[in-house]
Chain A
Amino acid sequence: MTFTKTALAATVAFGAIATTAQAVEPIKIGVLHSLSGTMAISETTLKDTMLMLIEDQNAKGGLLGRPIEAVVVDPASNWPLFAEKARELLSVEEVDVIFGSWTSVSRKSALPVLEELNGLMFYPVQYEGEESSKNVFYTGAAPNQQAIPATDYFLEELGIEKFALLGTDYVYPRTTNNILASYLKGKGIAESDVFVNYTPFGHSDWSKIVADVVALGADGKKVGVISTINGDANIGFYKELAAAGVSADDIPVVAFSVGEEELSGLDTANLVGHLAAWNYFQSAESDLNEAFIAKWKAFAGEERVTNDPMEAHVIGFNMYVQAVEKAGTTDVDAVRTAMYGLEVPNLTGGTAVMLPNHHLAKPVLIGEIQADGQFDIISQTTEVPGDAWTDFLPESAVLRSDWKELGCGMYNTETKTCVQIQSNY
């Protein structure tokens, strides 16, 4: 670390001597995604996406006439390391913006550092909401952009009357299920008709849980499963579901964490007809998407698939580029103010708008799993504005986030006070 700093100083000094006439200092973009450890599989793809986008932008002549340089670090799926690496990026490398994080814990780990050093981060993954930091733009889905519309689809289109909320035991499923339980109560579903189960990461023994879910049908109500099961555990779950002879027509499963990338590790023949809700599917039909897929395959390999967090990074990056051009500088506060109201095209058609609460307005898509590991989009809403504080939990229903007008990420509309400006992580 010390030697990088010295090296850096030397380079800068050397650069100052060599290019006195025209100092083209690059714009630095930090990429904070785990390249090793348990999250590597998901996050490496995002790192590659960023490198591709930056390469592309440089080919177009860079930004503000300056080239863009990617600074890639590896927090190794180790949560405290996210804070350390974020500090390194901001204070040693002095990057202008960070694109990174996948899990909520890693984001919450980096958050205090971002706020302390006034950095800027784009977070590309669907998450549980209940947060709005001045220094983070959330380009993934908030619960009302994924979980709630999917539940509505269950209620209205499939006529589900009894819900099994199955999740891996960590914060995203817990909070999402909390919100959903409260939402379903508001929709007239009795508490006894919501079955909740949490399993450890990588759980593989699903026979008992699948039997429990099948037994839910005993009181004559149509059962649906809302799955926030994460990662590898899905494999055993779907295998057991198939072995028990449960078809998507009997007990449909809608998953929030199963995308194209996850399906590529599975034999999808048994899963056909089960659902997933995202803001993007590779199978979305639009010219922009076709071009993006082609570019991605050329960059990363023919067998690679695209997925929702990648689209989030594409949108985030395009917005950042626009905001910098609009602000004429990479200064964090100027860029942040320039971000509000920016519109960039979605890959699924339509446009994404950056709201003053640092979330996006994006369409919600529901797809059925097909035998080839892709999704058949069967429902697409209009753009839904992301909501930082859910309306379906009493404590957060009164909260609002508006960084443009109110300058506050946690504004209590009841007492008309700003609860806090810094996040409480």
Chain B
Amino acid sequence: MRIFFLALVALLFLVSPLSAQNGPVQTLLQDNRAKIIKSSRKSIQPTIDAIASSGLPQAQLVLQKWQAREIWQRKADGLFFYGEKAAPKAYRLFDFDSAEPVGEFPKKQLKLVKPNSGVRALIGTSLVQFQLNDPDAALRRAALLSIERDPAVELLAPLRASIGAESNVDILTLKQRLNTLLTIRFDTDPETRIAAIKEVAGDLGVDVRATLNPLLTTDLAFAEGALPESKNIAAQRVVGEDITAAAAYEMLVAANRAPTVTTANEIRKVLAAHIVGGQVGGAAVATLDDLGARIKAYDNLAASGTVPPRIAEVEREATLASFVFYDLYKEPAKAVTDAARKTLEGIQTRVGFNQALDLGLDALSLASIYFLAAIGLAITFGVMGVINMAHGEFIMMGAYTGYVVQQIIPDYTISLIVALPAAFVVTFAAGVAMERLVIRWLYHRPLETLLATFGISIAVQQIAKNIFGTQARPLTSPGWLDGAWVLNDVVSISYIRIAIFVLALAFLTLFLFIMKRTRFGLETRAVTQNPRMASSMGINPDRVNMLTFGLGSGIAGVAGVAIGLYAKVTSELGADYIVQSFMTVVVGGVGNIWGALLGATMIGSLQKGIEWLNPSNTLAAQTYMIIFIIIFIQFRPRGVIALKGRAAGD
């Protein structure tokens, strides 16, 4: 295929009207045409070098356009141009040599040169020499980014040379930092390197660790007898403790220092190969369905000299005892590795501390999401004693409200401002309707409420599917919520999570305010404690129940918008949170907002804690968390904060 392709290109070369009018850049590009069109990181370097070192004034332009994927090839004659979009499906092309426009061409007649990101990185590296002193600050930054991504020894000198002339303070700091890192990596003088290593002590940047860690990489090696003194050894490996006997022995075998152990599988193969008339090694084949019999037969064969003698496990131990195994630093200079290790250890301690902090932030964020999802439930379940299995569907309805608002109002900020109250209104109305139509008939039958609301839940979920489809819908956060608050390279948290945290706090305050400071809150508390007494005091329990339920549902709707922003909007969104929400309320203790808060914090940190212990399996984290909760409930059946006395009821 490739040969065919090359032949085709060669043919095109002959046929196409290439003439002397091509400028030097075009000629250079045409010389490398095949490689440029079908570029690969493995083979493109000579081409890039040829362009970079051509001495042509346009070299930088060519490379920049190539990197930015703006080079087009005209299908008719195979010439390269750089272009810009002139109209839909049409491009205006410019000649490299003259920088003159050549004309506008429809996309059909052109072919875009598409370097992949590996090739683009190589181009970036080669552009460094041009860009480091470029008057355009953005290009200088781009050059530094290239160095950071792919540090190379040949970049050290130009980088150092460019530091003196740098006028921009920010870029100067960047350059100096990169210089330190490149010095650690590539400088030839150990003293300079050690000085540079000491300079970065305590720095939390990933790039610093990425520079120091390679200095400490080791190879596994072995020697007969004692450890060699002359080498820069990191640590000895004791067989059976730091390295398994099998692995150690395999090394010896690979280095031809020991014979292979005869495995059961090999015994079988060897025996099968030596069957003569239904007999092998003095035993009938039919009796060989046992490992012991096979070994015996093999040993018989070995005794007669037909096969090499069997090496058993015991002999392996003896061989291993005469060797030492150790980790050998790739870096020969002991002073450098010592300095690097010392600095790195210092950094690691700080990294560990910061990771804990980051984990804490993650846990806090997860807790605030759970709290937000559960707060509505805490109201309906806790304050009213009503189980609402359709709570998750209110969250989902809120998220879809956000999506619909975003379809109507294209500005993300305004649509968010509209969506939050809109979601509250929609779910408030839905909650009130549900309370009026279903729940109020079932106040004395809690188990039935559970089932009836479940019926509503499956119906609402299916209706959402019928309206919006099963596919996830986008709910995009406004630009100012993009990105993350970055404390350092270890600790960061996305703005959207911070926003959710703030929202959770706001609702906590709001809830406390309503319950403690308003007439409605007073009435709710009264009805919760004793509906009959409350109604004889002139409170209408029906109205209070309705509004409380509406409030709980409305908050769920707002939570839905928040959850949709950070994750996804699907009809199953609510179902994903319902069990966690119940857990939150139950663990925390029913009938108390502080309980819900505590429950959310506990579940959030617990889940993150287990994830940290077992980073490769998030599913396991969820399993263990639920099991923990089941056990926890056994010991505190009424949750962390249990109501005492009469209010606890039963």
Contact = CB atoms under 8 A, between A and B. Distances in A.
Would A and B touch once assembled, by the CB under 8 A criterion? yes
Interface of A: 38, 40-41, 156-159, 169, 195-200, 202-205, 207-209, 211-212, 214-215, 217-221, 231-232, 235-236, 239-240, 242-245, 248-250, 252, 261, 264-267, 273, 368, 376, 378-379, 382
Contact of A265 (B471, B563, B615, B622): B471
B399 to A, nearest CB: 12
A207 B493 contact: yes
Contacts of A218: 206, 209-210, 213
Interface in B22-81: 40-42
B611 A208 contact: yes
Contacts of A169: 617, 619
Q: 4 tightest A-B contacts by CB?
A: A204-B567, A243-B494, A220-B210, A219-B213
B47 to A, nearest CB: 15
Nearest to A169: B619
A202 B572 contact: yes
Interface of B: 1, 40-42, 114, 116-121, 149, 206, 209-211, 213-214, 217, 355, 358-359, 362, 365-366, 369, 469-474, 476, 482-484, 486, 489-490, 492-497, 563, 566-568, 570, 572, 576, 608, 611-612, 615-619, 622
A219 B576 contact: no
Q: Which of A208, A235, A242 has the most C-beta atoms of chain B within 10 angstroms of its own C-beta?
A: A208
B494 A207 contact: yes
Given A218-B213, A219-B210, A267-B474, 6 more contacts: A156-B40, A157-B116, A215-B206, A235-B474, A244-B494, A368-B116
Contact of A217 (B206, B358, B471): B206
A110 to B, nearest CB: 22
Contact of B118 (A158, A245, A250): A158
30 contacts: A41-B471, A156-B41, A156-B118, A169-B617, A197-B615, A197-B618, A198-B618, A198-B619, A200-B619, A203-B618, A204-B567, A204-B576, A205-B369, A207-B494, A209-B618, A214-B489, A215-B355, A218-B209, A218-B213, A219-B214, A220-B211, A231-B472, A232-B472, A235-B474, A239-B566, A245-B484, A265-B473, A266-B472, A267-B476, A368-B116
Contacts of B616: 195-198
Contacts of B617: 169, 197-198
A327 to B, nearest CB: 32
Contacts of B474: 235, 265-267
B600 to A, nearest CB: 13
Given A204-B576, A265-B471, A219 B149 contact: no
Given A199-B618, A243-B494, A264 B114 contact: no
B576 A264 contact: no
A158 B117 contact: yes
Contacts of B213: 218-220
A242 B483 CA distance: 7
Contacts of A250: 149
B568 A232 contact: yes
B1 A382 contact: yes
B567 A273 contact: no
Given A157-B116, A232-B570, A265-B473, A207 B576 contact: no
Contacts of B483: 243, 245
Contacts of A382: 1
Given A218-B213, A236-B566, A200 B470 contact: no
A250 B149 CA distance: 7
A40 B572 CA distance: 13
B587 to A, nearest CB: 18
Contact of A214 (B1, B149, B206, B497): B206
Contacts of B120: 249
A273 B121 CA distance: 13
A215 B619 CA distance: 21
A364 to B, nearest CB: 13
Q: Which of B41, B359, B486, B566 has the most C-beta atoms of chain A within 10 angstroms of its own C-beta?
A: B566
A204 B117 CA distance: 29
A382 B474 CA distance: 36
A310 B149 CA distance: 39
B618 A236 contact: no
A329 B386 CA distance: 65
B492 A215 contact: no
Given A200-B618, A207-B362, A217-B206, A157 B41 contact: yes
A35 B633 CA distance: 41
Q: Which of A202, A207, A219, A232 has the most C-beta atoms of chain B within 10 angstroms of its own C-beta?
A: A207
B495 A243 contact: yes
Contacts of B469: 41
Given A157-B116, A215-B490, A378-B116, A220 B567 contact: no
A243 B615 contact: no
Contacts of A220: 209-211, 213-214
Contacts of A204: 563, 566-568, 576
Nearest to A242: B482
Q: Which of A156, A195, A249 has the most C-beta atoms of chain B within 10 angstroms of its own C-beta?
A: A249
Contacts of A221: 210
Contact of B117 (A40, A212, A273): A273
A330 to B, nearest CB: 34
Contact of A207 (B117, B365, B471): B365
B610 to A, nearest CB: 11
Contacts of A248: 117
A145 to B, nearest CB: 17
A45 to B, nearest CB: 10
Contacts of B470: 38, 40-41
A351 to B, nearest CB: 13
A181 B640 CA distance: 45
A220 B149 CA distance: 10
B193 to A, nearest CB: 15
A249 B117 contact: yes
Contacts of B210: 217-221
Nearest to A206: B567
Nearest to A212: B615
Nearest to B210: A220
A326 to B, nearest CB: 28
Nearest to B216: A219
B114 A376 contact: yes
A199 B213 CA distance: 29
Given A41-B470, A215-B206, A243-B496, A208 B608 contact: yes
Contacts of A215: 206, 355, 490
Contact of A236 (B121, B567, B572, B615): B567
A237 B561 CA distance: 18
A158 B619 CA distance: 31
Contacts of B490: 215
Nearest to B622: A200
Contacts of A200: 618-619, 622
Contacts of A212: 615
Given A156-B40, A218-B206, A264 B567 contact: no
A223 B117 CA distance: 14
Nearest to B623: A200
A195 B496 CA distance: 27
A157 B472 CA distance: 33
Contacts of B42: 156-157
Contacts of A40: 470
A378 to B, nearest CB: 5
Contacts of A240: 494
A378 B114 contact: yes
A23 B217 CA distance: 78
Contacts of A203: 618
Nearest to B496: A243
